[in-house]
Structure 1
Amino acid sequence: MKTIKTLSFILLFLIASNFVNAQNDNEAKALVKDVLDKVQSYDNFVIDFSYTLENTEQNLRQETRGDVSIKGEKYVLNLMGTTQIFDGEKIYTIVPEDDEVTISSYDETDTEQITPSKMLTFYKEGYRFKMDVLQDVKGRKIQYVELIPMDSNNEMKKILLGIDKQTKHIFNLIQVQPSDTRIEFRVTKFKTNEPLSANHFEFQKSKYADYYINELD
C-alpha cells in the first residue's frame, strides 16, 4: 500500500538512528538526535495520527486518521480501513472491505516491504537538513527542520519535520511534492511504554475464519 509506505516517513524519525550526517546543519542535527535518543529509551510506543492530502490547484483534499504501535521491529498499523501486522517474520495485510488477508514473508530486498530498521534507507543518504521556522501552536513551540533532497528527480520537493521543543517528540511531518501536492501526518497522541498484550503483534487466524487467506509464498 502506497499510503502505508508513505507513513514510514514519520516512523523513520521516531525509530532510526545514526542517519544524520556531516552535511547537515549542526543545530538541526542536534535537535533530531535529541528526538531519536528519547524515543529509543521507550520499550514501545503507540501513535494516533491524522493524515491529510491536499492539492489546491486540483481542488483536492482528503483526510483520515490512523494509529500505529511499535515495539522493536514489530508493528501494527491501522490506516484507511486496512490493518498491517509485522510479527518479525511475516507481513499480514488485512482488508475487511474485501474479507481478505494477504500474507507474505519479509524480504529485506523488497523495497515495498517496510520495517522499522529498513526505514533508515529512505533518508540515510541524499538529503540535507537545516533549521526552518519556529511556530507557536496553541502554546507549544514547534521547531521545523527542513529536509531537502539532493536528487532533483526525487518524488518530493521537500519535507518539513515539526518537533515540540519541550517534549522532544514529533508534532507533524509535511511532504511537499513537485506537483505541489501536500501530505501531512500530525501526531494527535503519543503514548509510551503501554501495557500491550503478549499477542499484540501476532496474527490470530481464528479471528478471520470467514476471510480469504492469500498466502503469497
Structure 2
Amino acid sequence: MKSLIALIFTFFIASISYCQQSDPAAKKILDAVSAKFKTFKSVQAVFTLSNEDSKGHVLGTKKGTASMKGSRYRISVAGTGQEIFCDGANIWTYDKSANEVTITKPDPSASTISMQKLFTNFYDKDFLYKLNGDKVVNKKAVQEIEMTPVDKTKPFHKVYLLVDKQAKTIYSTRVLDKSGNVVVYTVPNMNGSANLPDNLFVFDKSKYPGVEVIDLR
C-alpha cells in the first residue's frame, strides 16, 4: 500500500524545461494540456487505478476520487481505507485499518510519479517524450505520448500518456516500473469548476475518534 500511496502522490508541480531530443509535436500537445489545467480554479475527478502484469492482464482495479486546488489535494481510494490530505505544507496519510494518520512534508525531489503531477507539469526536464500517434479508446479520440526518464535510476522506465484530443486533458497514464509491474490511471472526465473549501484538504482529527498520530515532519 505504501508503494500505491507513493505512486499517487508526488505527481503535481515542477518547473518546466524541454530537452532538444524531445518531439516538438508532443511538446505542443503537452503545452496545451498544461494550459488547459491552469484555467481550472479547482478540480474534482473520479479515477480508476489498475494494476497489470507485463502481458497487459489486469490483476486488480480500484476506483478513487481526487480533489485539487492549487498545491492542495485530497485523494481517496475505495476499498483500501486510505485517504490522503495535503494543504500544500503538510501531507496526512490516513490508514483506516490501523486507525492511524502519518504526517509528512511534501517532497518535490521524490522520484516517483503521483496523480497531482499527472494533472499538471509532469513533462519536466527529467523526461524525453515523443508523439506515437492518434488512437480511439472507449469512443474517445486520444493522442499517445511516450515518455522516457533521462535519469535511469528512476523506479520506472516508461510512461505512456493518452491525451483527450478534444478536451485537452489527460485521459490515462500507464506507468511501467522496472519490476515488471504496470500501473494505469484512467480519468474519464473531470470537473474544472468545482467549489472546494480549503478545509477539505486538512485532516480533521476530531472526525476520526481514537486515531493515532505519527508525526514525521
Task: State the TM-score, normalizing by the size of structure 2.
Answer: 0.83
Secondary structure of the structure 2 residue equivalent to 1:51 = strand
Secondary structure of the structure 1 residue equivalent to 2:159 = strand
5+ residue gaps, structure 1: none
Looking at structure 1, the residues matched to 121 and 169 of structure 2 have their Cα atoms a distance apart, in angstroms, of 22
Query: What RMSD in Å do the two structures reach over aligned CA positions?
Result: 3.0
Looking at structure 2, the residues matched to 164 and 109 of structure 1 have their Cα atoms a distance apart, in angstroms, of 27
5+ residue gaps, structure 2: none
- Highest relative contact order (Cα 8 Å, sep 6+), 1 or 2? 2
Query: Aligned-pair distance for 1:136?
Result: 1.2
1:5 aligns with: 6
2:162 aligns with: 162
Percent of aligned pairs sharing the same letter: 25
CA distance 1:40–1:21, change in 2 (3 Å) = farther
Structure 1, 60-69 or 44-53: larger mean CA deviation: 60-69
CA distance 1:103–1:51, change in 2 (3 Å) = same
User: Residues 173 and 185 of structure 1 are in contact (CA less than 8 Å); yes or no, is this contact kept in structure 2?
Assistant: yes
Structure 1, 152-161 or 170-179: larger mean CA deviation: 152-161
Looking at structure 2, the residues matched to 138 and 20 of structure 1 have their Cα atoms a distance apart, in angstroms, of 31
1:47 to 34, 45, 54: 45
User: Residues 175 and 183 of structure 2 are in contact (CA less than 8 Å); yes or no, is this contact kept in structure 1?
Assistant: yes
Q: Which amino acid aligns with 1:42?
A: F
Matched, 1:63 2:64: no
Secondary structure of the structure 2 residue equivalent to 1:166 = coil
User: Residues 16 and 116 of structure 1 are in contact (CA less than 8 Å); yes or no, is this contact kept in structure 2?
Assistant: no
CA distance 1:17–1:143, change in 2 (3 Å) = farther
1:111 aligns with: 110
Alpha-carbon displacement from aligned partner over 1:93-149 (angstroms, at most 9, x marks no partner): 111111112223x264773897958x9897533321111131112332110010123
CA distance 1:145–1:89, change in 2 (3 Å) = same
Q: Which amino acid aligns with 1:136?
A: V
User: Residues 157 and 176 of structure 1 are in contact (CA less than 8 Å); yes or no, is this contact kept in structure 2?
Assistant: yes
2:82 aligns with: 82
1:134 aligns with: 134
Q: Which amino acid aligns with 1:76?
A: R
Q: How many residues end up aligned between the 2 structures?
A: 212
User: Residues 5 and 112 of structure 1 are in contact (CA less than 8 Å); yes or no, is this contact kept in structure 2?
Assistant: no
